[in-house]
């Protein structure tokens, strides 16, 4: 494409956008983006204008010939796009606060992508993503859809099952964060580390860890379980794993596994935050307000370092690296959410999984991971069942299937409580769940 690429970012008014723009600027020599269209909805207009102005200043400072376009007209933006990225939050952070606070008011985990909160984020998001897929089919049928919108696994599952889009990948910053953590632990450059990832989004495991192509899984396990080690890794919640668990589980767990393997501790911690109005949604609302105040500064022409605190660090690197690898047919290995196609035995071939893939111009080729270790296999299969039923509930607007999904989910696991939560949360999110009120 001699004339350069056209990339469309839906949810362009997100506080993450400057990181994405920085990633594209950094790779401009390899990834010649002619136009970057930032799209949002009326409710996000002010944020879009603030972020868009910063993006234009960043591009000007870098001296790259990338045009930044801002619009509320999605179809106009999508026309002849090469890549479409989605980073939306239906109902914005106020909806996330409900996803966290309503379950916690019943004594169960309230979290953005897990349990009842994750279900309702999926129910609000999936119908919107499927509408976007229809627009892509009509306006840019050859474009790649790269989805960062959470719950990324459930969203990718829905696109694969209920749309005609085949060129889709879901992307998460958890695997790249795990690689960075291991690189720090081993005191080496991130580029020298590779992890064999297999599982689902926010339920992914590291089956093996390589340094310069040689397995260092045992060495990493020793470092992680040595209490005398100054780098004894704590995860984002500051909760240490029991050494016995890490040594015997047979895989490296991701930060989100704390919600499943340490449920009572995590619920107690979140209930404390809930009581003092310090849930993650409320913290993020304050962080966002601060970031947008910074973004308004007309002398700011770089991504501010405060953005790292927002929780999505490395997103742009993961996203820009992925787009770069597709465009340039790099055939490097990256973890993405894609169709399983037999890569993980024991999960449906047509379902979405998060797995290490060779990234080519024709898409991801999943690496064959075989069966997951026995200690983790059942949990992954349970969460996949939850995701499948949740997708059906979203597409059909089915209250019964939403209740069933939550009853399957280990973080709720009660039909009566699931019914109470679903009824309360459907009502609370009424504005964003039209299919449930048709």
- Residue 338 three-state SS: strand
Tens digits of per-residue pLDDT, 165-181?
999 999 998 999 999 99
Which CATH fold would you assign to the domain 5-171? Rossmann fold (3.40.50)
- Residue 427 three-state SS: helix
Using a pLDDT cut of 90, give the percent of the chain over it: 87
Report phi then psi at 358, rounded to 5.
-80, 125
Residue 312, pLDDT score: 60
Tens digits of per-residue pLDDT, 23-78?
999 999 999 999 999 999 999 999 999 999 999 999 999 999 999 999 999 999 99
Residue 1, pLDDT score: 42
C-alpha span between 434 and 438 (Å, rounded): 6
Tens digits of per-residue pLDDT, 225-281?
887 765 444 433 446 888 899 999 999 999 999 999 999 999 999 999 999 888 888
Catalytic residue among 256, 260, 314, 315: 256
CB within 8 A of 293, min separation 6: which ones? none
For residues 2 and 344, which has the higher predicted lDDT (pLDDT)?
344
Residue 234, pLDDT score: 44
Please report which confidence band the pLDDT of residue 304 belongs to, taking 50, 70 and 90 as the band edges: confident
- Number of neighbouring beta carbons within 10 Å of residue 333: 18
Beta strands in 47-143 (DSSP E): 67-71, 83-86
C-alpha span between 155 and 428 (Å, rounded): 22
- Tell me 106's DSSP state: T
Q: Token pair of 336, please?
A: 């993405």
For every residue of 165-231, DSSP letters joined together read: --SEEE--SHHHHHHHHHHHHHTS-GGGEEEEEEEETTEEEEEEEEETTEE-HHHHHHHHT-TT-TT
* Catalytic (active site) residue 16: no
Q: Over range 69-90, report the average pLDDT.
A: 97
Report phi then psi at 242, rounded to 5.
-65, 130
Q: What is the pTM of this model?
A: 0.95
C-alpha span between 183 and 206 (Å, rounded): 14
Q: Token pair of 290, please?
A: 């601060």
Please report which confidence band the pLDDT of residue 197 belongs to, taking 50, 70 and 90 as the band edges: very high
Which residue is it, tokens 């916690």? 104
Which residue is it, tokens 């799209």? 39
Number of H helices and E strands in the chain, helices first, is 16, 14
Residue 342, pLDDT score: 97
Tens digits of per-residue pLDDT, 399-430?
999 999 999 999 998 999 999 999 999 999 99
> Whole-number mean pLDDT of the chain?
93
Q: Where is 8: in which H helix or E strand?
A: strand 5-10
Residue 308, pLDDT score: 75
């Amino acid at each position: 494409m001699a004339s350069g690429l056209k990339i469309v970012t839906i949810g362009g008014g997100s506080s993450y956008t400057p990181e994405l723009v920085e990633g594209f600027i950094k790779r401009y020599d390899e990834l010649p983006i002619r136009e970057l269209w930032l799209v949002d909805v009326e409710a996000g207009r002010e944020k879009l204008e603030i972020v868009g102005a910063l993006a234009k200043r960043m591009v000007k400072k870098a001296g790259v010939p990338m045009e930044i376009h801002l619009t509320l007209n999605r179809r106009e933006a999508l026309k002849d796009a090469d890549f479409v990225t989605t980073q939306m939050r239906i109902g914005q952070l106020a909806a996330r606060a409900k996803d966290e606070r309503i379950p916690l008011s019943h004594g169960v985990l309230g979290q953005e992508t897990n349990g009842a909160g994750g279900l309702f984020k999926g129910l609000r998001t999936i119908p919107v993503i499927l509408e976007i897929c229809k627009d892509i089919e009509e306006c840019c049928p050859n474009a790649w859809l790269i989805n960062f919108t959470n719950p990324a696994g459930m969203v990718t599952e829905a696109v694969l099952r209920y749309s005609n889009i085949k060129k889709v990948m879901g992307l998460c910053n958890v695997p790249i964060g795990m690689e960075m953590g291991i690189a720090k632990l081993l005191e080496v450059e991130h580029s020298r580390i590779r992890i064999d990832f297999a599982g689902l989004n926010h339920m992914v495991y590291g089956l093996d860890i390589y340094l310069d192509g040689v397995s260092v899984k045992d060495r990493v396990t020793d470092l992680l379980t040595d209490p005398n080690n100054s780098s004894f890794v704590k995860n984002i919640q500051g909760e240490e794993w029991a050494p016995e668990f890490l040594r015997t589980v047979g895989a490296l767990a991701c930060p989100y596994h704390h919600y499943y393997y340490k449920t009572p501790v995590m619920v107690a911690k979140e209930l404390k935050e809930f009581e003092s109005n310090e849930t993650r949604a409320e913290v993020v609302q304050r962080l966002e307000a601060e970031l947008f105040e910074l973004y308004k500064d007309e002398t700011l022409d770089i991504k501010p370092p405060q953005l790292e605190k927002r929780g999505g660090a490395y997103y742009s690197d993961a996203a820009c690296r992925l787009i770069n690898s597709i465009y340039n047919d790099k055939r490097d290995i990256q973890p993405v959410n894609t169709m399983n196609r037999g890569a993980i035995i024991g999960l449906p071939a047509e379902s979405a999984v998060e797995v290490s893939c060779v990234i080519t111009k024709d898409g991801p080729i999943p690496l064959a991971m075989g069966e997951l270790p026995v200690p983790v296999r059942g949990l992954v299969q349970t969460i996949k069942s939850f995701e499948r039923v949740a997708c059906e509930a979203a597409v059909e607007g089915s209250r019964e299937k939403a209740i069933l999904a939550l009853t399957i989910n280990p973080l709720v696991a009660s039909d009566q409580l699931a019914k109470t939560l679903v009824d309360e949360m459907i009502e609370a999110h009424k504005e964003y769940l039209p299919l449930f009120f048709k």
